[in-house]
Amino acid sequence: MKIFLDTASLREIEELRGFIDGVTTNPTLVAKEGRPFLELVEEICRLVEGPVSAEVTALDTAGMLAQARQLARLADNLVVKIPATWEGLAAVRELSGQGIPTNVTLVFSPTQALLAAKAGASYVSPFVGRIDDRAGDGMELVAEILEIYRNYGFDTQVIVASVRHIRHVVEAALLGAHIATMPYQVAKKLLDHPLTDLGLERFLADWKGVPPAHRPW
């Protein structure tokens, strides 16, 4: 499973650059950075080798297409993020015909994901955390989307999004999701573990008990 960082922070991307396969952003994350949008996205695309999703803000198909073309000109690894609306999917159909990759976002139902795949989306982003926040089951949605895509041989990739904790990442991987995108704080926890730190501390303390003459370093 690929690991994407869900952020627009260059500092966070820089720190985890060697460990991540791509980046997803959204208008909320971009707003936090206080930078001109296109300039920021272009920098992120330069920093990351894999796909970088940047979202349109227009609500009508023509407006989305105009913004999508502007975004797509920024870099070869740019993926246009488009909401799961009728207007959005009309834009996805058009962009997919032109070879511009798309990520259909704000996906909360299997039928939205089915229509997104039929429109030619490269990626779909089910928001598992926001579903769980409302006492739903975000992972159940991911499982259903994956099964539907398998049934019909769609090559649209599933990005498990709105990840809140590392259990979401484990469950996404167990289900065979293609990608999980997560905030920096969650990505850090994929490796950090207090028992690893404690164990290392103890090993190094015990190592001091080996006489200096017996230690090669």
Among all residues, which ones are annotated catalytic? 81
Could you give the C-alpha distances from 138 to 12, 156, 157, 160, 175, in angstroms and in order? 26, 19, 17, 9, 12
Q: Smallest distance from the beta carbon of 149 to ligand G3P, in angstroms?
A: 20
Of residues 176-195, those binding ligand G3P (CB under 6 A): 181
DSSP state of 127: B
Q: Smallest distance from the beta carbon of 204 to ligand G3P, in angstroms?
A: 38
Q: Return the residue nearest ligand G3P (CB atom).
A: 162
Is residue 50 part of the contact set for ligand G3P (CB under 6 A)? Answer: no
Is residue 26 part of the contact set for ligand G3P (CB under 6 A)? Answer: yes
Point out which span in 96-104, 122-130, 145-153, 170-178 binds ligand G3P (CB under 6 A): 122-130
Beta carbons within 10 angstroms of residue 35's beta carbon: 14
Question: Residue 13 corresponds to which tokens in the numbers above?
Answer: 């991307």
Is residue 6 part of the contact set for ligand G3P (CB under 6 A)? Answer: yes
Is residue 9 part of the contact set for ligand G3P (CB under 6 A)? Answer: no
Q: Smallest distance from the beta carbon of 127 to ligand G3P, in angstroms?
A: 6
Is residue 103 part of the contact set for ligand G3P (CB under 6 A)? Answer: no
Of residues 153-172, those binding ligand G3P (CB under 6 A): 161-162
Are 7 and 23 in contact by the 8 Å Cβ rule? The answer is yes
């980046």: which residue's tokens?
23
Q: Directed axis angle between helix 61-72 and helix 37-47, to 10°?
A: 50
For 15, the 3-state DSSP assignment is helix
Single-letter amino acid, residue 200: L
Is residue 7 part of the contact set for ligand G3P (CB under 6 A)? Answer: no
> Closer CB to ligand G3P, residue 91 or residue 182?
182
Could you give the C-alpha distances from 120 to 24, 57, 88, 110, 193, in angstroms and in order? 19, 20, 12, 15, 40
Q: Smallest distance from the beta carbon of 124 to ligand G3P, in angstroms?
A: 12
Q: Smallest distance from the beta carbon of 137 to ligand G3P, in angstroms?
A: 15
């970088």: which residue's tokens?
52
């260059």: which residue's tokens?
10
> Closer CB to ligand G3P, residue 24 or residue 61?
24
Q: Please state whether beta strands 179-182 and 157-160 pair in parallel, antiparallel, or not at all (unpaired).
A: parallel
What is the spatial distance between Cα 139 and Cα 23, in angstroms, rounded to a whole number?
Answer: 21
Residue ranges that bind ligand G3P, judged by CB under 6 A: 6, 24, 26, 127, 129-130, 161-162, 181
